[in-house]
Amino acid sequence: MTHSTSPSRAAVVTGASGGIGRAVAERLAADGMAVAAHYSGNAAKADEAVAAITANGGQAIAVGGDIADETAMAALFDATTERFGGVDVVVNTAGIMPLAPIAETDLETFDRIQRVNVRGTFVVNQLAARQVRSGGAIINFSTSITRLQNPTYGAYAASKGAVEAMTLILARELRGRDITVNTVAPGPTATPLFFEGKSQQAIDHIASLNPMERLGTPADVAEVAAFLAGPARWVNGQVIYVNGGAA
């Protein structure tokens, strides 16, 4: 039994300083969850997310840390439990996406992508598997690129293929715990990370590739995360593509 001043449910959202992460944090808060908004380098953006949540009457804290560092992530979970009484939902949106053809990818860059996207997800999932309460949800993030197979995404897609495999296995390892484990795989989404280095022509072309003929929004993606975090108790061990029908 949590303390009477604690909210009924609490969520950890990694990468909450980014476009999708922040939208997820705000959406879960709108559903009445207290949120620990994690950031890696951008404390100001995480603070903005917390301010937006509290301005709307929600509860949130910002906690920094290297996603792939088990000590920093343990501190994130501890801070959440200390403040809100426990952890019910974990949404792991943190990730990086340097692009280059496989033949030209610097191996140091490859290692960095795997460290953040694969090890980072593993560290967070390990803590989540140990601490998330019954009735909870663990939500990882992949990408529709695993289906679309676009050139230059080799190292990134490899990391997300690993995330998908990890998710499906963890869902089965948590048998009997009443905890769902799923992956959300967005298509092109209108975030600063997406727009970086792209011409308007390229953006328009990418937006035209799905039958809805637009880019996804962070809110579109957050809606699916909220579904998995809340009412979707019979969706488990799945990869859900959120891309307007691109593939």
Residues designated catalytic: 156
Decide if 74 contacts 81 (C-beta within 8 A): no
Task: Report the 3 state secondary structure along 85-100.
Answer: CCCCEEEECCCCCCCC
The CA-based angle 83-125-17, given to 5 degrees, is 60
Residue 174's region, left for phi above 0, alpha for psi from -120 to 50, else beta, is alpha
DSSP symbols for 149-206: --TT-HHHHHHHHHHHHHHHHHHHHTTTS--EEEEEEE-SB-SHHHHTT--HHHHHHH
Q: CA gyration radius for the chain?
A: 17
Cα–Cα separations (whole angstroms), residue 55 to 26, 31, 117, 221, 236:
11, 15, 32, 22, 33
Q: How far apart are CA 105 and CA 22, in angstroms?
A: 30
What is the chain's length? 247
Task: Please identify which residue in the block is written with the tokens 């499906």.
Answer: 168
